[in-house]
Structure 1
Amino acid sequence: MFLATFVALAALTVVLVVPLLNELARFAHHAPDLLREARAGRGPVGELLERFHLRRYAEAHADEFRCFGGQLGRSTVGLARGTAQGVAGVLTAVVLAYLMVGQAPQITTRTLALAGGDRAERLRRIGRESARTITGYVSGNLLISSFAAR
């Protein structure tokens, strides 16, 4: 189950990210030509600028556009970094949760076997109550955090 989920997430990432990166690289390669054509009034962007009389406006505000482009580039890098960190965090949490759920019965059984008898039953009852309390706390905290993030 875990492997299938991991493979599905990896495939989805490849399907979405690889074409996006290819298109961004292609755009970056062609951007100087597009800009040159637009300034000369040729090409698809240049034709639109001429058609809507935006070329003079673009020339008058070229410095502002450059500044905005620099800010956009910085925010895009920050967004990509944040997305990568978020994906890594979620992946780490999923792996750790899966391992804890998979190994918890063995750990519990061995610990209770060491305690033995009445003490084992008492520990089992305390564990159930603790798990119920912690689950409620974490669920409430996640719910509050999801509302606070919006």
Structure 2
Amino acid sequence: MPLSTAHRVYCSGRCSRRAYFEANRERVRAAKRRGNHQRRAMLAQGKRYTVTDRDLSRLWSRYENGCAYCGERSSPLHQEHVVPISRGGADGIGNLAPACLNCNLVKGDRTVMEWRLGKKSPRYRTWPDRQVGSRLPASTPHTSEVGLAAR
């Protein structure tokens, strides 16, 4: 394989990022310094983060135009602050999530964990057949391909 098309394969994204940082240490540090300087300058001037319509449309499409908490798609979505501003959360895109009216109003000024732990029936979007520590059923293609049988 020619060197121009060779790619390195890492065990995880974490290893890949670490290798990139090691290879480009000064470049990464300079970018971090610029970002910190810009953030501090904005805060010193009393400016808040600006969220564009493009940012919001990307965020909404990441959640497939549904509520981040219950997956509801029929009701209009609200910009919900994951960490409430009253609790020190930022007004930036990293702290926003689409939420239906019900989830947004019920959550109020609590964090997501406080809200979920206080709720009687949490509506997580999980696979009902997969639990932590469970095995795959014998009928799955994963077990038949490698010749494993469920015990």
Which protein has the bigger helix share?
Answer: 1
Q: Which has the larger radius of gyration?
A: 1
Which protein, 1 or 2, shows the higher relative CO under an 8 Å CA cutoff with sep ≥ 6? 2
TM-score range (shorter-chain normalised) is under 0.3
Which protein has the bigger strand share?
Answer: 2
**TM-score, scaled to structure 1:** 0.21
**TM-score, scaled to structure 2:** 0.21
